Amino acid sequence: MKHRIPTTCALLLVCLALPLLAQPTPPAPPPAPAIPPPLTSGNFGKPLVGATTAQLAAFTAGSKDFNIRETRQTGLGPIFNDDSCLACHGAPSAGGSSGKTVTRFGHSANGVFDPLTSLDGSLLHARAIDPSLQEVVPSEANVVARRLTTPLYGAGLIEAIPDATIIANANLPKPVGVKGHVALVTDVATGESRVGRFGWKAQHATILSFSGDALNNEIGITNRLFPKAAAPNGNEVKLACFVSPTAPIEDQPDASGLSEIDRVSNYMRFLAPPPVGAPITPATLAGQKLFAFIGCASCHTPSLNTGQNAIAALANKNVQLYSDLLLHDMGALGDGIAQAAAGTTEMRTSPLWGLSARHNYLHDGRAATPAAAILAHAGEAAASQSAYTQLTPVQQQQLIAFLRSL
Ligand code: HEC
Ligand code: HEC
């Protein structure tokens, strides 16, 4: 005789099983590693850990373009600021920063900022291939600001943070007085509206568009994204003596179809983040707590995650950059220049990773120490700055020890 389950009993079993069927047991999550795998190995300026052989080759090829000293034959000028990326981005290794600054100018009146575009503002080109082309800060300018070179370590990881992640972080509750907004910019390379994240004003969203801007505006090499040579203080007649208005762009693709802006972009995209500055000690741990407690972390977000990415070495990584990549009104600390989505007093929260390798801080390099940089914080950061001044000397040292460990 067959063993049969009574009908009522079978129904009961089905009913009990239904919720289980509707929600299949999820697979056990992979065990979370206690310490995330390092994204960098050893020194500054290395390629990203996990880059494939082809990506390492692209890194190496791009580094040559990044380091090369351009000449008149390769397109330098007519007006420019230096002759290689490395000249400014060379400390403590290629891909870093330096004490070098560039100059921005404009005219501010009644709350309206004019970048003096017709006089080739707002970026000054401080050098020229011929004395007749030498630019000056025009007398019309009543705002002049210097901008320190920013480091490029981990740029690929910063680029790989999805816009939505930056926006979601921007929408989290913040202490009274702290606001911050995303820098919506038009990406020159794609024409898309994107969240800007590179530069003191978060003026570019992608490494490629920054590369095009830098190659043209810092070195004077016209390229497909920035095809027009800058005219000295806007004087097209002077420019025409050296560059024909119909001349082809200088940055032409190589046999594999890549231009210099693509190759240097690859180099920066595969550049590892800075190695940690110092080991964790009781002092750095105490400093880390203070950093959150006095509100530094409400702008200097300790980490943001990258999303899915065709490049595995950039996909789903925890990026410990210590920045929300937002624009904040910094009051008196602002540089007075409106640019892209940033108003005159708005600045991008500086990423704090790699701080130990730096010798000067803030947008114009005015601060010789991290402590001096904190004391200059104003505007939305005023409460946090004031809380810092109320720490005991030992606590202040702990906070600085933490900053130097990043
Ligand atoms: C004359 C010095 C100088 C040269 C030459 C130069 N840069 Fe820069 N770079 C700067 C300065 C200054 C900044 C910050 C500019 C700003 O935000 O206004 C910067 C910022 C950047 C950034 C943004 C990094 C970030 O997150 O803020 C990138 C990317 C960059 N440069 C790439 C390049 C590349 C590629 C080259 C060569 C084609 C180059 N730079 C040449 C001075 C220079
Ligand atoms: C309201 C947002 C905000 C708060 C709060 C804030 N910062 Fe900043 N921080 C910024 C911005 C924006 C900059 C860049 C300002 C500039 O150079 O014009 C910056 C720059 C810095 C720099 C210089 C980095 C560099 O690349 O030169 C350091 C160091 C720093 N902050 C540390 C701190 C510490 C420590 C605290 C807490 C006491 C703090 N910040 C609180 C927004 C903030």
Condensed to tens digits (0 to 9), the pLDDT of residues 226-262 reads 999 999 999 999 999 999 989 999 999 999 999 999 9
Q: Indicate whether residue 401 lines ligand 2 (CB < 6 A).
A: no
Tell me how far CA of residue 361 lies from CA of 22, 51, 236, 364, 368, in angstroms. Answer: 56, 31, 37, 7, 6
Q: How confident is the model at residue 141 (pLDDT cuts 50, 70, 90)?
A: very high
Examine the pLDDT at 23 and tell me if it is beyond 50.
Answer: no
Which residue out of 100, 327, 350 has the highest number of ligand 2 atoms within 8 Å of its CB and is therefore the one to mutate?
A: 350
Of 197, 343, 266, which is closest to residue 59 (Cα–Cα)? 266
Q: Which ligand is nearest to the CA of 221?
A: 1
Using the mean position of ligand 2's atoms as its centre, give its distance from the Cα of residue 92 in Å.
Answer: 21
Q: Does ligand 2 come within 6 angstroms of the Cβ of 363?
A: yes
pLDDT mean over 306-335: 98
Asked if 225 and 188 touch (Cβ cutoff 8 Å), the reply is yes
Q: What is the per-residue pLDDT for 35? A: 56
Q: How many CB atoms lie within 10 A of CB 246?
A: 5
Q: Considering only CA atoms, give the Rg of the chain.
A: 25
Contact 330 CB / ligand 2 (< 6 Å): yes
Residue 10 has pLDDT above 80, yes or no: no
Tell me which residue of 92, 67, 104, 39 sits closest to 271, measured CA to CA. 39
Q: Which ligand is nearest to the CA of 333?
A: 2
CB 149 within 8 A of CB 88: yes
Can you give the pLDDT at residue 37? 61
| Ligand 1 centroid to residue 300 C-alpha, Å | 21
When pLDDT is averaged across residues 39-53 and rounded to a whole number, the result is 89
> Angle at Cα 309 formed by Cα 306 and Cα 314, nearest 5°?
55
The rounded distance, in Å, linking the Cα atoms of 74 and 65 is 11
Taking Cα atoms as reference points, which of 48, 44, 35 lies closest to residue 274? 44
Ligand 1 centroid – CA 150 distance (Å): 7
Of 116, 163, 145, nearest to 304 (Cα)? Answer: 163
pLDDT at 2 over 90: no
The answer to whether the Cα torsion of 383, 360, 348, 36 is positive or negative is negative
Please indicate whether residue 96, judged by its CB atom, sits closer than 6 Å to ligand 1. Answer: no
In the reported structure, the alpha carbon of residue 394 is separated from the centroid of ligand 1 by a whole-number distance in angstroms of 37
User: In angstroms, how far is the first alpha carbon of the chain from the final one?
Assistant: 75
Ligand closest to 84 (CA) is 1
The token pair that represents 311 in the structure block: 């490049």
Q: Cα separation of 315 and 39, whole Å?
A: 11
Q: What is the pLDDT of residue 25?
A: 53
Structure tokens at 95: 């891909």
- pLDDT of 368 > 90? The answer is yes
Whether 328 is in the pocket of ligand 2, judged by its Cβ within 6 Å, is yes
Residue 347 to residues 20, 75, 97, 321, 362: CA-CA distances in angstroms?
A: 52, 32, 18, 16, 10
Q: How confident is the model at residue 376 (pLDDT cuts 50, 70, 90)?
A: very high
Question: What pLDDT is stored for residue 393 in this prediction?
Answer: 98
- What's the gap in Å between 167 CA and the centre of ligand 2? 20
Measured CA to CA in angstroms, residue 94 lies from 43, 153, 313, 339 at distances of 11, 9, 21, 27
| Closest CA to ligand 2's atom 30 | 374
pLDDT for position 245: 87
Atom of ligand 1 nearest to the CA of 80: 1
Ligand 1 atom closest to Cα of residue 123: 18
pLDDT of residue 185: 98
CB of 87 sitting under 6 A from ligand 1 = yes
The band of 34, judged by pLDDT with boundaries at 50, 70 and 90, is low
pLDDT tens-digit readout, 76-112:
999 999 999 999 999 999 999 999 999 999 999 999 9
pLDDT of 16 higher than 50:
no
Of the listed ligands, the closest to the CA of 335 is 2
Q: What is the mean pLDDT of the chain?
A: 92
Pair 88, 218: CB distance under 8 Å? yes
| 370 C-beta closer than 6 A to ligand 2 | yes
